[in-house]
A and B are shown apart, each in its own frame.
Chain A
């Protein structure tokens, strides 16, 4: 009975406490005291940490050696992005949109030599040469009701690209509204077989899931689609050859043992400058040997939403995984959302 009474009492106090938390406004916000206002505290902490990270990442830009302050910032970001309390919060939206807005602005800056490679959420990349700007797996993230990246920024970015290549149908790679925005401007979208069939003449799924070359004369580039898989899902590995400038390859969500035979031989046919593998690809070493790129920029870290935190691949995990293949001596650049790297042969 006594226990029952105590339980009731503690239940009551919990209810009273949560009521106090939700109903009232923290009187000590100006003093940065959050006693009794845990969610306010966590929001304020996230806001402070995201700002610190953003400042540090702007000071220590992506390069082939990861300096201590940059590593610290990335691990700090990993910690924030693995605390689900920060999912879909204002500090997160501000962070990602601030960084994406910089990409939008930078896309106006001409590239005179080589390739500028932008990393976007989630496994998205934009590659810009002097003559062409192509997007791969460009998505706004989040849900349709509340996308991570605001319409004005993501469609602004899309509006500055000349073509869109989609690896596979999963929502973290393919977004029909984005594809339609390309089509509406008369820009081609190359999709895997069976995706978005008969939606728009400019949205062009492959007729067969097989190695396919598509020439973009106006952009002075050739897209070589390699027929990969994520388990049983068609997954286009998009190898983009900017004529005379360089070749990049993005692997989408490649994850399939039975493609390994031909992947082993990719380097015999293609001279890959930059490989953008999904950071969690199985057997990273074998893929690197197969593609034999001159440089690596991983993608798909910190995918939020569907995955539980153990599969939100952290930046520090990429660092560790790349250490495991360091004997191959291929330089890699670890980038986060809203960053870019100028690649020259």
Chain B
């Protein structure tokens, strides 16, 4: 009897709620024309999915704008932190219907990065961050891509084919650390070989491409001379799988190391000693590790740039956030190795132990224009005129 009363109370409450909903929704729904657009009134009642999709459409450009005004630096200010933690929120959603905004966010940033990447570099190295553990590293003499993948989300690719081609055309070589699809894509590797670019991968990886791929990584450290660089390959492991650690000595310039998906305890005896043999300037290493301290101690780099944040292929709990990376790195402050947390499409220029001025290259239009931050908004100054980011001239 009590159950029955409870049930009928529940029904009563439900029907009251329904009536309320009908009451509120009806006038809106009734007057909607067939060519109705959400821009007419911004009422999303009854369509949570459309609402969230629109919210992403609003948020991603704001995140992008904030990140442009506050580019990667060793000390992260609250503006950049805010932008990154908001990005983490959006990248830890499950619903794929809102991913159109993500795709355009990634594409816009990549296109801008490629333009900026082309700015002349006379010294040091330029490090460009791609999805997953991907990087493009440029010295005045060569350009090398590491772990270049398109990055997948909701069945699609984060990087379009044309962006992959643009990266390919700018690169002299592709280094692949391991066989995992988050690091290695055979179509992209094949494309590189087709265009006569060097592809280096661990033994047993990309077998189908045969000797078009230079297979390296053995029981000992191997070294090979390539265009504009000396490449040292440390044979590491991800579990039992081969994982090459690349130490790239750019001829006449800095040394950058990439650890791929290194996580095996069996390799510490080599990694612990790396700093005794190599003078690593920048270490690109996976942030999500309980052994980060030992990794940094082994390389003793001048700076660390973390990799592998927000791999969209991973489940949400495993998908590393920018904010968790920051927390983990700040746990290691006592090592006194500065770190830089970067996101997709960002650039870090480094020479002689320091970050060099990137303001000239982070511009999203051309080298003759300049970004200004006024009244909390970003504008582009070009030929004495001020424009909004969307190109509208401001009086």
Contacts and interface: CB of A to CB of B under 8 A. Distances in A.
Interface stretch (B56-64, B215-223, B335-343): B56-64
Contacts, number: 137
Interface in B80-108: 81-83, 85-86, 88-90, 92-93
Contact of B63 (A30, A34, A72, A280): A72
B42 interface: yes
B82 A73 contact: yes
Interface string B41-58: 111111110111001001
Interface stretch (A8-16, A92-100, A181-189, A313-321): A313-321
A159 to B, nearest CB: 33
A33 interface: yes
A143 interface: no
A76 B51 contact: no
A318 B48 CA distance: 17
B384 interface: no
The binding surface of chain A is classed by DSSP as helix
A31 B293 CA distance: 11
Contacts of B24: 231, 255, 311
A36 B42 contact: no
B82 A68 contact: no
Interface in A39-72: 41-42, 44-45, 48-49, 52-53, 55-56, 59-60, 65, 67-72
Nearest to B327: A32
B375 interface: yes
Contact of B323 (A45, A306, A311): A45
Nearest to B86: A76
A321 B58 CA distance: 14
Interface residues of B, number: 55
The binding surface of chain B is classed by DSSP as helix
Given A69-B82, A310-B48, A282 B42 contact: no
Interface stretch (A77-85, A103-111, A213-221): A77-85
Interface stretch (B169-177, B192-200, B313-321): B313-321
B89 A316 contact: no
Contact of B78 (A30, A34, A55): A55
A80 B89 contact: yes
Given A28-B290, A79-B55, A82-B51, A45 B92 contact: yes
B20 to A, nearest CB: 9
Given A53-B82, A68-B69, A282-B27, A75 B290 contact: no
A31 B289 CA distance: 8
Given A76-B82, A282-B27, A60 B89 contact: no
A72 B66 contact: yes
Instruction: Please classify how large the interface on chain A is, using the bins under 10, 10 to 19, 20 to 34, 35 or more.
Output: 35 or more
Interface string B122-151: 000000000000000000000000000000
A68 B58 contact: no
A260 interface: no
Contacts of A38: 315-317
Given A32-B324, A49-B86, A255-B24, A56 B78 contact: yes
24 contacts: A32-B328, A33-B324, A34-B317, A35-B317, A41-B316, A45-B88, A45-B321, A49-B89, A53-B82, A67-B375, A67-B377, A68-B376, A72-B63, A75-B62, A76-B82, A79-B86, A79-B89, A80-B89, A257-B27, A310-B48, A311-B24, A317-B44, A320-B42, A321-B41
Interface of B: 17, 23-24, 27-28, 39, 41-48, 50-52, 55, 58-59, 62-63, 65-66, 69, 78-79, 81-83, 85-86, 88-90, 92-93, 288-290, 315-318, 321, 323-325, 327-328, 331, 375-378
Nearest 7 pairs of A and B residues by beta carbon: A67-B376, A32-B324, A76-B86, A38-B317, A310-B48, A310-B51, A310-B44
